[in-house]
Copies of this chain bind each other. A is one copy, B any other.
């Protein structure tokens, strides 16, 4: 816990060692160049899979056959989001078996995973890497987790596995359909959740791979989003997830007048700046404001007879409607956010499943995120240098994972439509509680009381010279919020580091400190 701290390129003090492993401080966008090789998993042999039938009795048998033991790293995936029924079972079994000090490496965690706290309390889990959310984030924030949390983006998770920073001993992949060979997909079956891209790195690099399904079909399972040639064991169980709960959080268009205004301003800005044009591309999230923006985009596109080449998902009913209405040629989807998304991916060859490898991995030969014209993202806080925070709240609590947020910062124009304040706490600050992404990649902040454009984007400022949009400096926006709400208090934080935030290249962009309670 008394690891050495160094100042990184953003001036943040970060540890050079975490959970016994050396760490590299963030060096700036594109500055850290890897000079090493990919992780090399062990070579398997078909001689050990003579029949190709990998079915075992149950998850416990699969874990035992996979050699489950103290200190291992176990990965799971969040395709079911808050409807996941498999991850908890793994650690229940491990706890019953008296296994200790596991590392849980999920692609994201959700409130349904709160029971993991029990397994941290009883020593089954040492710490969580990858993502910390809600109740688990709160537990970590209060300094209760044995190890230090490590948060990475979806692309960073692929990078960290590919590069061997995290070696996965056992990957457990919950798959809505699979065959006895281990081929698996998420688009068919009673628990269909869309796709299984978040498990791709795990299937490729984990030493042992277990596929768990509740819809076992004859070989071949088509399509195979996960290839059975990477899979060791297959488990058939009653129910792996509740697909209706993949609809997490707001997935309906906002009705808030302020947020609708923000959405309208965002769409208007994109139009006036010339970003909405034939062949353009965009990515918006599934929050109420993002959906409203997509809706305004649709109105503009219909009116001006403009067609997008592709939209990046998280897909949802609104995006599917645009695809089916011929307004976008393709959805390149990383995650279905509702069941319309699942249906469309199953039925429509133009609704294409992608993975963190294709879309987000920074240690590849390019990725899709950097090809997107407009990315609409959120933030909990933004500072006057456009650095933004998505992980912690202004009270210091670590309540959100990074998701694909950092990866999308590489899109050509990054816009954060955010309210000027939330619960009377200003969002724009002199300094954010945690830097998740560097300001140099964030181009526009749209609030209900004005729009700030990053001075680096002279082209955008030029294009909007004659606009009637309410352009302001970010300092002006901050002052305006503080005039209304007062200067916000600093969170009450200790010195102790409870988690680190990794940048897309594996370096440490910031550290999260313990919240002092009571």
Residues of chain A whose beta carbon lies under 8 Å from any beta carbon of chain B = 30-31, 33-34, 36-52, 54, 162-163, 181-182, 209, 218-220, 222-224, 227-232, 279, 309-310, 330, 332, 349-350, 352, 357-358, 361-368, 370-371, 410, 505
Inter-subunit contact B182/A350 (CB<8 Å): no
Contact A45 B357 (CB under 8 A): no
Complex partner residue of A43 from B36, B330, B332, B370, CB under 8 angstroms: B36
**What is the distance, in angstroms, from A313's C-beta to the closest C-beta of chain B?**
13
Q: Is the beta-carbon distance between A52 and B366 smaller than 8 angstroms?
A: yes
Give min CB distance, A166 to chain B, whole Å.
14
A182 is contacted by which of B41, B227, B365 (Cβ under 8 Å)? B365
C-alpha gap A43/B48 in the complex (Å): 30
| Residues of B contacting A349 in the complex (Cβ-Cβ under 8 angstroms) | 222-223, 349
Quick one: given A33-B47, A49-B366, A364-B46, are A330 and B229 in contact (CB under 8 Å)? no
- List of B residues within 8 angstroms of A51 by Cβ: 370
Min C-beta distance of A468 to chain B, whole Å: 33
Q: Is the CB of A49 within 8 A of B365?
A: yes
- For A219, give its contact among B209, B219, B365, B371 (CB under 8 Å): B371
- Which of chain B's residues have a CB closer than 8 A to the CB of A218? 279, 309
Contacts of A309 on B, CB cut-off 8 Å? 218-220
**Judging by beta carbons under 8 Å apart, are A181 and B366 in contact?**
yes
Alpha-carbon separation in the docked complex, A42 to B35 (Å):
7
Give A51 to B40 CA distance when docked, in angstroms: 29
Contact B228 A365, beta carbon cutoff 8 Å: yes
Q: Is there an interface contact between A162 and B43, defined as CB atoms closer than 8 Å? A: yes
Query: With A222-B330, A330-B222, A366-B49 in contact, do A40 and B38 touch (Cβ < 8 Å)?
Result: yes
* B43 adjacent to A40 (CB under 8 Å): no
Of B43, B222, B363, which one neighbours A45 at CB under 8 angstroms?
B363
| 15 A-B pairs in the complex with CB atoms less than 8 angstroms apart | A33-B45, A37-B40, A37-B42, A38-B42, A46-B365, A46-B366, A52-B371, A181-B371, A219-B310, A219-B371, A220-B310, A222-B352, A228-B366, A229-B364, A229-B366
A208–B279 Cα distance when bound, in Å, is: 30
If A52-B366, A219-B309 touch, does A229 touch B358 (CB 8 Å cutoff)?
yes
Distance, CA A37 to CA B40, complexed state (A): 5
A337 to B39, CA, bound (A): 37
In the docked arrangement, what's the CA distance between A223 and B332, Å?
Answer: 11
How long is the Cα–Cα vector from A361 to B30 in the complex, in angstroms?
37
Q: What CA separation (Å) do A182 and B366 show in the bound complex?
A: 10
Q: Which residues of B contact A39 (CB under 8 A)?
A: 40
Sorted nearest first, the 5 A-B pairs with minimum C-beta distance are A49-B366, A30-B47, A37-B40, A40-B40, A34-B43
Contacts of A49 in B (CB 8 A): 365-366, 370
Q: Within the complex, what minimum Cβ distance (angstroms) separates A121 from chain B?
A: 36
A437 to chain B, nearest CB (A): 15
Please give, as numbers and ranges, the residues of chain B lying within 8 Å of A223 by CB-CB distance: 349, 352
From B36, B46, B310, A362 is in contact (CB under 8 Å) with: B46
B-side contacts of A357, CB under 8 Å: 227, 229
Contact of A46 among B46, B47, B228, B363 (CB under 8 A): B363
Q: How far, in angstroms, from A361 to B34 measured CA to CA in the complex?
A: 30
Q: How far is the CA of A159 from the CA of B219 in the complex (A)?
A: 23
